[in-house]
A and B are shown apart, each in its own frame.
Chain A
């Protein structure tokens, strides 16, 4: 079944894509990080976003997640334009991001990190018992064991910290779109495998995923489509089954 092909056809204006990125530009003090990038996305799709260092991948994702505002261009989620929504607002629309540095508060414990910004309250008071319980459930779902939840997350192993960062995704409403920035970086073989399985499972649950990774093997294992950025521009967009690794690398490096 090729979801990739149908998404290349423009939809009628009455329908809306899950995510539509139109001509997005972003400058950082004179450095043009993004120069007019456009693409769109549907449900149950996995897109691999690749490019060399400095190509603009993280910047693009941070604009979609609301962490940055674009200098020009449009981002629409399910038809709603997200011009000046911050991370909280974008999350309300169903978009969640897991950052490359995990964005964890090192000295705070596991439940505080998982529920960051999404704390559960009962009559205005924090419901720690419920949050602890849900934290355990999420860790179980991610097949990760953490013996004591009360310790600061800086004490956890890399894999456990990753689990905490990803576990945030399962708090609150199920997301429609997940942005993962180098989720397998620093993970061992087994843990990377678990993550890729998770991506496949989520895709089956009609959650779309944009995956940034330097690891083309991983991308080719789970992605439907691949988008290549170079120097802030989109230089290629193909279905994964219609392109080879070599061609991807050539596009990334600009060797035509």
Chain B
């Protein structure tokens, strides 16, 4: 029985890596175009912006929380960015507005969940609906075609925005570099700071953390603030990437984020996982999509396959956790 426990432990700990390797091998065999540098760039480029939201989401999940409002935060800040740019605003203003808005949203989420003691799914669902409504009021359902607006004022599309959204640093797209930089910062925070350690503690056993003197409410609020901050930043980067704001921006930014974070091994039961796990998860999702396209599989196969992986990973995790608390 102990042996089985150890086996489960190893599988649970490394399931994401195993999945990644297995998938890579399969796709290499299925398609000659898979194992090329250009393809790797493609794989990493697609999730570059959404990956940043995933990092923020990781903080919340480790703390055993949940945030359904991330997509609407990205959408709102994407709109803000487009608005600011088309009104000839600068880089600093746009970024500060997005980060500020994101942090505010995160703060409200955090306070509602911790002080009002409302379940995080319900609270952030409410926030999501509120933000969607706010966005509707602000946009009036219209899109912002930045190029057109600027041209009508005889202004040029800002070079720095073009560089961020579509430029490259060496052979690597700027967005991928930004993603990597944020990933490293988040990794250091989670693994090497006291705050990061406390996020894990709060997620693993909140009452034990409280009894050890950790301000659990504050830690949880901060995870939501970080998630909001990164979602806000992602909204800015999204507009930079797409160079327009449409009401469909960030439409698909909730389910894939949850998918990537959980597939990567960060358990929704809190206290485990991390940024590297999330990177692996994001790459797995991008890999599956890329690989299935290369091998000519129909689109729905991606969803089916990812759904199966999701259920398996969550299943193993829940089973493992149950074994722990049972034994």
Chain A residues packing against B (C-beta within 8 Å): 65, 67, 86-89, 91, 97, 99, 103-108, 112, 116-119, 121, 124-126, 152, 154-155, 168
Q: Is B1 an interface residue (CB 8 A)?
A: no
Query: Roughly how many angstroms separate A121 CA and B207 CA in the complex, as a whole number?
Result: 23
**CB atoms of A126 and B193 under 8 A apart:** yes
Q: Is B152 an interface residue (CB 8 A)?
A: no
**CB atoms of B192 and A107 under 8 A apart:** no
Q: Is B16 an interface residue (CB 8 A)?
A: no
Query: Roughly how many angstroms separate A117 CA and B211 CA in the complex, as a whole number?
Result: 9
Query: Roughly how many angstroms separate A208 CA and B197 CA in the complex, as a whole number?
Result: 31
- With beta carbons under 8 angstroms apart, the residue of B210, B214, B324 that contacts A107 is B324
**CB atoms of A119 and B197 under 8 A apart:** yes
Nearest chain B CB to A33's CB is how many angstroms away?
A: 18
**CB atoms of A108 and B212 under 8 A apart:** no
What are 6 A-to-B residue pairs whose CB atoms are below 8 Å? A86-B210, A103-B205, A105-B208, A108-B201, A125-B193, A154-B325
Contact partners of A86 in chain B: CB under 8 A? 210, 213
* B310-327 vs A, Cβ < 8 Å mask (1 yes, 0 no): 000000000001001101
Interface size on B, residues (CB 8 A): 27
Query: Roughly how many angstroms separate A119 CA and B209 CA in the complex, as a whole number?
Result: 12
**CB atoms of A105 and B204 under 8 A apart:** yes
In order of increasing CB-CB distance, the 5 nearest A-B pairs are A88-B213, A117-B212, A105-B204, A103-B208, A105-B205
**CB atoms of A154 and B324 under 8 A apart:** yes
- With beta carbons under 8 angstroms apart, the residue of B191, B192, B201, B213 that contacts A105 is B201
**CB atoms of B200 and A112 under 8 A apart:** yes
Contact partners of A108 in chain B: CB under 8 A? 200-201, 204, 271
Contact partners of A155 in chain B: CB under 8 A? 5, 9
**CB atoms of A121 and B201 under 8 A apart:** no
Contact partners of B325 in chain A: CB under 8 A? 106, 154
Nearest chain A CB to B27's CB is how many angstroms away?
A: 33
**CB atoms of A106 and B213 under 8 A apart:** no
**CB atoms of B271 and A87 under 8 A apart:** no
Q: Is B194 an interface residue (CB 8 A)?
A: yes
**CB atoms of A126 and B212 under 8 A apart:** no
Contact partners of B207 in chain A: CB under 8 A? 103
Query: Roughly how many angstroms separate A108 CA and B212 CA in the complex, as a whole number?
Result: 15
**CB atoms of B209 and A116 under 8 A apart:** yes
With CB as the reference atom, state the residue of chain A lying closest to B207.
A103
Interface residues of B in 173-197 (CB under 8 A from A): 191-194, 197
Given contact pairs A88-B213, A118-B212, a sample of 17 additional A-B residue pairs in the complex whose CB atoms are under 8 Å apart? A67-B211, A87-B210, A103-B205, A103-B207, A103-B208, A105-B200, A105-B209, A106-B205, A106-B325, A108-B271, A116-B209, A117-B198, A117-B209, A117-B212, A124-B193, A154-B324, A168-B212
- With beta carbons under 8 angstroms apart, the residue of A99, A112, A117, A125 that contacts B214 is A117
Contact partners of A104 in chain B: CB under 8 A? 205, 208
Query: Roughly how many angstroms separate A65 CA and B204 CA in the complex, as a whole number?
Result: 22
**CB atoms of A106 and B324 under 8 A apart:** yes
**A87-B211 CB under 8 A given contacts A103-B205, A106-B325, A126-B192:** yes
Q: Is B290 an interface residue (CB 8 A)?
A: no
**A107-B212 CB under 8 A given contacts A112-B201, A125-B193:** no
Q: Is B249 an interface residue (CB 8 A)?
A: no
With CB as the reference atom, state the residue of chain B lying closest to A126.
B192
**CB atoms of B321 and A107 under 8 A apart:** yes
**A116-B208 CB under 8 A given contacts A106-B325, A108-B201:** yes
With CB as the reference atom, state the residue of chain B lying closest to A86.
B213
Query: Roughly how many angstroms separate A138 CA and B213 CA in the complex, as a whole number?
Result: 21
Query: Roughly how many angstroms separate A107 CA and B266 CA in the complex, as a whole number?
Result: 13
User: Which of B198, B205, B209 has the most chain A CB within a 10 Å cutoff?
Assistant: B205
Contact partners of B272 in chain A: CB under 8 A? 107
Nearest chain A CB to B255's CB is how many angstroms away?
A: 26
With CB as the reference atom, state the residue of chain A lying closest to B202.
A105
Query: Roughly how many angstroms separate A126 CA and B209 CA in the complex, as a whole number?
Result: 17
Query: Roughly how many angstroms separate A126 CA and B9 CA in the complex, as a whole number?
Result: 26
Query: Roughly how many angstroms separate A185 CA and B211 CA in the complex, as a whole number?
Result: 20
- With beta carbons under 8 angstroms apart, the residue of B5, B213, B321, B324 that contacts A87 is B213
Nearest chain B CB to A81's CB is how many angstroms away?
A: 19
Query: Roughly how many angstroms separate A91 CA and B214 CA in the complex, as a whole number?
Result: 12
**CB atoms of A121 and B194 under 8 A apart:** yes
Interface residues of B in 200-241 (CB under 8 A from A): 200-201, 204-205, 207-215
